[in-house]
Amino acid sequence: MSKVPVMEVFGPTIQGEGMVIGQKTMFVRTAGCDYSCSWCDSSFTWDGTGIDLIKQMDAEEIWAELVSHGGEGFSFVTISGGNPALLKNLSYLINLLKEKKIKIGLETQGSKWQDWFLNIDELTISPKPPSSGMETDFNALDMILGKMKATDNRNQTSLKVVVFNDEDYNYAKMVHLRYPEIPFFLQVGNEDNKTTDDQMLINELLKKYEWLINKVMADDELKDVKVLPQLHTYIWGNKRGV
Amino acid sequence: MSKVPVMEVFGPTIQGEGMVIGQKTMFVRTAGCDYSCSWCDSSFTWDGTGIDLIKQMDAEEIWAELVSHGGEGFSFVTISGGNPALLKNLSYLINLLKEKKIKIGLETQGSKWQDWFLNIDELTISPKPPSSGMETDFNALDMILGKMKATDNRNQTSLKVVVFNDEDYNYAKMVHLRYPEIPFFLQVGNEDNKTTDDQMLINELLKKYEWLINKVMADDELKDVKVLPQLHTYIWGNKRGV
Ligand code: SF4
Ligand code: SF4
């Protein structure tokens, strides 16, 4: 059985976050997560509320769905979740995308390893800060980042930490200083991922973004880092599937 | 004489544009440009209005000024203009920054070559679209991108085109299709770089950003591209030196 549980396929749209921010991409969102972050903005992938959306699909079916949405207009696919790293069987999709010369981006929190990580072009490891309520398994993280480093370097690995408060900020710093050679992204947390008042949301997010920038600029221990917002929220607010 | 005309040194702040968007960086802005783009947002570097700001500085003086602003808190310096590629003598500053293990980003429109391009870690070539009123010298551009490609690839080169209207968009596409293997960034133009009404500015820029995203998403000829805003404008409006 080479199927995986898929929650939604959409695009083309832009990647709003992290190392490939702005990239034109299709999205495949898988179901299921081993975490339950307090502020998860895709909790429908694991909390039962999205259960009717889940389809068990094999690689060819996912490809057909990608093409039905994206036609001839894409060369990049982002796999997100939930935690796609739970799914050993994603290897079939990843191999198929490779055959089709599609570049692949993937984000995971860094709790699980899969051998197919080595075939991801742009791998974002996003360990979760204290405000999530989750505990980081640093043994797993060390192992994953060690294995990625040992590869021939054609693929890119980065770390991204979402920051809601000072405690998260200190956690982010600790992560960066533990893995100083890995490209590091700080991202503003979205405190209110339910509101539909886009103007208020943007103003709040910009205020938080400025707060985070100011902290990093004043901090001599964070030098070679990038500070980014969630760009798509500026355009589409909290809407899903865009 | 190893001096160069410097307009301003500031930071640390974030890079708001292009391939290193979000990067914590210091800025050195040089004076002088061989272009005079209609919408230039740093025309004070070449139109005479900023002439009192220009200081002739050598590499050690610039370094001292960087340290006086940034202290121990930076490892990245962005050189901008004007067109810094007019200045052969920038080689001294670039060599000094290299010695200090500082990463260097630089943006130029691609009208002139300098041998020190090969020592820039993140080089953005930003040819100007029709709305600028300038004419692109494609022979110069071919030569520059050819030389950068022939290097050992430790440094990164990207192309960035600012888009104000449909004609600019077609120009951007033509540039991307001419150099398909070079990472390509489309950026929204800021129509109103004088206003101090930040709220209105942000709303206008977001509308333009969405317009550009929608065009690219619907365009099968633009696949592996990134579409970005000028992030710093969202935070600081049209203020200079932040
Ligand atoms: S790891 Fe990601 S998908 Fe899983 S609960 Fe946390 S935020 Fe949500
Ligand atoms: S090339 Fe850049 S600095 Fe020179 S006029 Fe054009 S926008 Fe201004």
- Report yes or no on B172 lying in a domain: yes
Tell me what pLDDT residue A197 has: 80
User: How far is the centre of ligand 1, averaged over its atoms, from the C-alpha of A82 (Å)?
Assistant: 6
**Was A111 annotated as part of a binding site?**
no
Domain total for chain A? 1
Q: Mind listing the pLDDT tens digit for each residue in B9-27?
A: 999 999 999 999 999 999 9
Residue A84: CB within 6 Å of ligand 1?
no
Checking DSSP bridges between strand B4-14 and strand A4-14, what pairing results, if any?
unpaired
Nearest CA in chain A to B227: A22
- Report yes or no on B241 lying in a domain: no
Q: Mind listing the pLDDT tens digit for each residue in B109-124?
A: 999 999 999 999 999 9
Distance CA B131, CA B162 (A): 10
Instruction: Please give the mean pLDDT across all residues of chain B.
Output: 94
Tell me what pLDDT residue A45 has: 94
Tell me what pLDDT residue B186 has: 98
Distance CA A220, CA A78 (A): 34
The CATH code of the domain that includes B47 is 3.20.20.70
- pTM for this structure? 0.95
Distance CA B131, CA B189 (A): 10
Q: Mind listing the pLDDT tens digit for each residue in B147-169?
A: 998 876 667 999 999 999 999 99
- Report yes or no on A217 lying in a domain: yes
User: How far is the centre of ligand 1, averaged over its atoms, from the C-alpha of A7 (Å)?
Assistant: 14
Tell me what pLDDT residue A1 has: 64
Tell me what pLDDT residue A207 has: 93
**Residue A231 and residue A22 in contact, taking contact as beta carbons nearer than 8 Å:** yes
Checking DSSP bridges between strand A103-108 and strand A55-57, what pairing results, if any?
unpaired
> Which structural domain, as residue segments, surrounds residue B35?
4-236
Torsion, Cα of B149, A121, B224, B118 (10° steps) = -20
Contact status of B211 with chain A (Cβ, < 8 Å): no
Q: What's the order of all strands across the beta sheet hosting A156-163?
A: A55-57, A4-14, A24-30, A76-80, A103-108, A122-125, A156-163, A184-188, A225-228
- Report yes or no on A242 lying in a domain: no
Neighbour-count burial of B165, counting CB atoms closer than 10 A to its CB (0-12 exposed, 13-18 middle, 19+ buried): middle
- Report yes or no on B54 lying in a domain: yes
CB contact under 8 A, A21 and B228: yes
- Report yes or no on A148 lying in a domain: yes
**Was B33 annotated as part of a binding site?**
yes
Nearest CA in chain B to A10: B217
- Report yes or no on B57 lying in a domain: yes
B203 CA to chain A: closest CA distance, Å? Answer: 9
Percent of chain B at pLDDT > 70 equals 97
Neighbour-count burial of B77, counting CB atoms closer than 10 A to its CB (0-12 exposed, 13-18 middle, 19+ buried): buried
Distance CA A220, CA A230 (A): 25
**Which amino acid is located at A69 in the chain?**
H
- Chunked in runs of 10, what are the mean pLDDT values of chain A (242 residues)? 93 96 98 97 93 96 98 98 97 98 98 97 98 98 94 84 97 98 94 78 91 97 96 81 68
Contact status of B153 with chain A (Cβ, < 8 Å): no
Tell me what pLDDT residue B198 has: 79
Tell me what pLDDT residue B185 has: 98
Distance CA A221, CA B107 (A): 27
Q: Mind listing the pLDDT tens digit for each residue in B166-201?
A: 999 999 999 999 999 999 999 998 887 777 787 888
- Report yes or no on B193 lying in a domain: yes
